[in-house]
Structure 1
Amino acid sequence: MQAPFSTASVAIEDSGRVQYAAEEQGKPPVAEEARVTPEKALELKQLLLSNGFMNLNAAYEDESLADATTYQISVNFGEATKTVVCKGSCPNEFKEVEDKVRELWGREIVEVGV
C-alpha cells in the first residue's frame, strides 16, 4: 500500500510574479503562473519583516503525530535566506505568512491528507 504523496511550491517575486508548481503521485506535474501587483507582493514582504517570522526557529515538529502535512516557507532577501519547516502545530507567525501566500496565489494549493 502506498500513502498519498504530494509536493507544492509557490514563489512570489517583488515584481508580483507568482509561480506555482505541484506534483501528486500518479498525476502529471502542474506548473502555473499568475501576477499580483507589486504593492501586494510588498505586503507579503512587510508582513515577513514585521510579524516575527524572521525570528522563528528553523523547524517546528509535533513528535506526537505519526503523520502530518509538512510545510516549508523559504524567504530570500538579497543575500539573506530564512527557511522555516513546520509539521503539525505551527506558530502564529508562520500561519500568518502561509495565509498571505495562499491569498496572493488565490487558487488551490494541492494538499494530501492521510
Structure 2
Amino acid sequence: MANHTAELDAVLTALGDPTRRAIVRRLGAGPASVGELAAPFPIALPTFLKHVRSLESSGLIRTAKVGRVRTCTLHRERLDLVQDWLDDQRHLWESRTDRLEQLVTSPTPTEEDS
C-alpha cells in the first residue's frame, strides 16, 4: 500500500468533490459523453471539463474522442486503491477496539491477589 500513496491521494482528492462523485456514480452505469454527463449540472461546460480532467488525471476515468464526441468511461480498478486503504483502516481499528475490549472486560487484580 505504501507504494500507492500518491495514487491514493490523487483518487481521494478527486473524490473529495460532490460533482466529481456524481460523475463517477453516473459512469458506474456505463460510459457517457461529456455532454450527457454535464447535462444535470448547472455549471458552464468549461467548469465541468475541469472536473472531467481532474477525474482523468487521477486515473478514475478514461476519455476517448471520436469525431466531436468525447466519451468517458469509469476505470473501476482505481477504486480498488480506496477499497484496499479502507480495508487496512478497518482491520487496524478492529484490532484496536478488540484490544480495548479485552482490557475493559478482563478481571483486574485486587489488592488481596497481590
Q: Same fold (TM over 0.5)?
A: no
